[in-house]
Structure 1
Amino acid sequence: MNALKLYAKRDLRFEEQPYPKIEKGTDVIIQIKAAGICGSDISRYKKQGPYVPGMVWGHEFSGIVVETGSQVKEVTVGSRISGVPTLTCEDQSINLCRYCRKGEYARCEQLTVVGAYYPGGFAEYIKLPEKNCVLLPDSVDLETAAMLEPAAVVQHGLFHTNLTIGDTVVVVGCGTIGLLAIQLSVIYGARRVIAVDISETSLHRAQANGATVLINGRTENILQRIIELTEGDMGDVVVEAAGSIDSSAQVFAYAKKGGGVVFLGIPYSDIQIERFYFEKIVRNELTIWGSWNSVSAPFPGKEWETIIHLIEKKKLQPERLITHRIKLQEGPKIFEELMKEETSDSFGKILFVP
């Protein structure tokens, strides 16, 4: 079969890969119908390279089941599924860590995702444990289903917070994660959603997805604008979805006294926090939530159930974020396009489709 393999930084190849085989009774083989490029994929392509050179890449995908192991009970050949990419102790045939024993799967000491140490979703087929297959209602199409994972990541983070009806939410960074955070904040009754980014294109997308106020951090003083917009009340909940070293060090100032900041972005460099911003944590008695992955108990968790429910009810519309649908063989070219500052803004969510 064909697949995209990452060998090193900026070395992605479209190559042949052995077809996956059933090895455990709980294994399921899926023909992939849609797979999305994650922001973390772009960072790894540009800055870090693969965990294992030559590994089949990708962790956001959906597809149709074509083969099942002898112990598979609920998933059948022909089932339409969204793939949960998270692999914990159980999946790696090692003793359960203290967090897996408690059902705190996002905190698993050996947590990984497909595409890191195990073949991922940028391929024609993939093997998953049955429990990692989320069955789809008929009303959820496979392209939308490929976006369940990033939506569940955001939902996992928002479950940590105390977001309530009537709140002001500040979302910093308007890529896929930020846009989904905007949609979900609106669904949960936020009175005002302030979107912050340095790209006018991204801010236009934020507005189209429900943001009520836009701030361009390249041309405006973010803190001063939030003070003006909220008459000094600031945000009840701040969502850091940019993953930049600057925003990660400054978002504490955007929250109200007694408010909180949830970190969904992943900075890939050291962060230096000025005293002015750090003191906001202490003097304003902020709550800081770290959020990792998308799963909880019973696996894969309420996050996935909630997202499917919201999509079924036409409240959450992750498919609105899709701007490009391309073939798998175009992967090396598209990742190089994403490296170009002059063209990267033109891309929203990119899906590989058959």
Structure 2
Amino acid sequence: MKSLRLYGKQDLRYEEADNPVIENTDDVIVKVKAVGICGSDISRYKKLGPYVEGMVFGHEFAGEVTEVGSGVEGIRPGDRVAACPTFYCGECESCKKGELSRCEKLTVIGARHPGAYAEYVKLPAENILPLPDNVDYDTAAMVEPSSVVAHGFYRTSIKPGAEVAIMGCGSIGLLAVQWAKIFGAKKVYAIDIDDAKLEVAKEVGADVLINSMEKPAHEQIMDHTNGSGVDLAVESAGSPITSAQVFALPKKGGEVVFMGIPYADINIERFYFEKIVRSELTVLGSWNAISSPFPGKEWTSSVHYMSTGQINVKPMISHRLQLSEGPETFDNLINRKGSYVKVLFYPELD
């Protein structure tokens, strides 16, 4: 089958890979209909390289079941599905406590197991999520990033009527705008340095758009909140700069949740760091998207709110491409050639 395989830093190749085959009684093979580029894929391509040289890359996908193992019940060939791409060990202390996202051996397909930048992918039946008829493959390919965002919001104490600031309007930030509303936010502030991304944020529900190149974000937030600040600030840019600036957005006693990963050292100016102490902020990290019982309410809730239309990913999709365009697309992304928000590949077009 056609695939994208990562051999090293900035060494992604479009080439043949072996078709997955049923080996275990709970195996499910899915024909990939749509697969998206995750921000973590870009970081691994640009800076980190593969866990396993030559591994089929990618993990955000949806597709159609083509084959199931002998022990699989309730999933049949022809079913439309999304999938949780994550594996947990079930044996470490965190897993035994039901804190699956903290598993010592947490991994996803595309890392140590063949991924979804391919015509077919294999996962255990418990990872498979049936799709309602009104959730199309483009939307369902973003169940995974939506679940990542939901996981972060479930960690907070946000209540209906809250004001929420989203720092960074890439895919995660744009989903965070929508999840903030689902969790009851009365006003959502979207912050970015790119006006085009801010316009998409408005389209998916942001109430106030803030370009932080015009005036520091926290000053604009204070202007809008009578000097108080927001109840919750979400760091979704994954930038060393915004990872410091985000501390100046919440009100006293407010919360910050980190969903972005900077992959760099963060130097925090005294002004921002003191906000943690003087404002008695609660600072939360959020990792992956799974909870107990696996895969967790993040996944079922994502599918539900996609079916109701409260999560609308269509304005976020900037590129729909063939898998063969993968190497060039990743090169464009890291070298900032063109304006990308969410990229989807369609392996069956190759």
Work out whether 1:303 is the aligned partner of 2:298: yes
Work out whether 1:137 is the aligned partner of 2:132: yes
Matches within 5 A, 1:1-150: 1-90=1-90, 96-150=91-145
Identical positions, percent: 53
Determine if contact 1:61/1:147 at 8 Å carries over to the other structure.
yes
Determine if contact 1:147/1:319 at 8 Å carries over to the other structure.
no
TM-score of the pair, normalised by structure 2: 0.96
One-letter amino acid of the structure 2 residue matched with residue 311 of structure 1: M
Determine if contact 1:240/1:265 at 8 Å carries over to the other structure.
yes
Work out whether 1:192 is the aligned partner of 2:174: no
What CA deviation, in whole Å up to 9, does each residue of 1:272-308 have, x standing for no partner?
1222212211221111111011111111111111111
Structure 2 residue corresponding to 1:347, chosen from 317, 320, 340: 340
Determine if contact 2:32/2:121 at 8 Å carries over to the other structure.
yes
**Which residue number in structure 1 is paired with residue 223 of structure 2?**
228
One-letter amino acid of the structure 2 residue matched with residue 129 of structure 1: P
User: Which secondary structure state, in structure 2, belongs to the residue aligned with residue 50 of structure 1?
Assistant: coil
**Which residue number in structure 2 is paired with residue 317 of structure 1?**
312
Determine if contact 2:28/2:125 at 8 Å carries over to the other structure.
yes
User: How many Å apart are 1:339 and its aligned residue?
Assistant: 2.5
Determine if contact 1:243/1:264 at 8 Å carries over to the other structure.
yes
Structure 1 residue corresponding to 2:322, chosen from 323, 327, 330: 327
User: How many Å apart are 1:57 and its aligned residue?
Assistant: 0.3
Of residues 40-49 and 284-293 in structure 1, the stretch that sits farther from structure 2 once superposed is: 40-49
What CA deviation, in whole Å up to 9, does each residue of 1:199-221 have, x standing for no partner?
11111111111112122122322
**Which residue number in structure 1 is paired with residue 332 of structure 2?**
337
Structure 1 residue corresponding to 2:259, chosen from 264, 286, 289: 264
Determine if contact 2:42/2:330 at 8 Å carries over to the other structure.
yes
Please, which runs of 5 or more residues in structure 1 have no aligned partner? 91-95
**Which residue number in structure 1 is paired with residue 162 of structure 2?**
167
Distance 1:227 1:58 in 2: 40
Distance 1:341 1:18 in 2: 33
Distance 1:224 1:315 in 2: 30
What CA deviation, in whole Å up to 9, does each residue of 1:244-294 have, x standing for no partner?
001112211111111100000001111112222122112211111110111
Please, which runs of 5 or more residues in structure 2 have no aligned partner? none
Distance 2:132 2:337 in 1: 40
User: How many Å apart are 1:320 and its aligned residue?
Assistant: 2.8
User: How many Å apart are 1:342 and its aligned residue?
Assistant: 4.8
Determine if contact 2:85/2:109 at 8 Å carries over to the other structure.
yes
**Which residue number in structure 1 is paired with residue 276 of structure 2?**
281
**Which residue number in structure 2 is paired with residue 93 of structure 1?**
none
One-letter amino acid of the structure 2 residue matched with residue 81 of structure 1: V
Distance 1:23 1:187 in 2: 40
User: Which secondary structure state, in structure 1, belongs to the residue aligned with residue 46 of structure 2?
Assistant: helix
Distance 1:175 1:208 in 2: 13
Determine if contact 2:237/2:260 at 8 Å carries over to the other structure.
yes
Distance 2:192 2:315 in 1: 19
Of residues 193-202 and 214-223 in structure 1, the stretch that sits farther from structure 2 once superposed is: 214-223
Coordinate RMSD, CA, aligned: 1.2
Distance 1:146 1:342 in 2: 24
User: Which secondary structure state, in structure 2, belongs to the residue aligned with residue 225 of structure 1?
Assistant: helix
Distance 2:137 2:248 in 1: 40
TM-score of the pair, normalised by structure 1: 0.95
Determine if contact 2:203/2:315 at 8 Å carries over to the other structure.
no
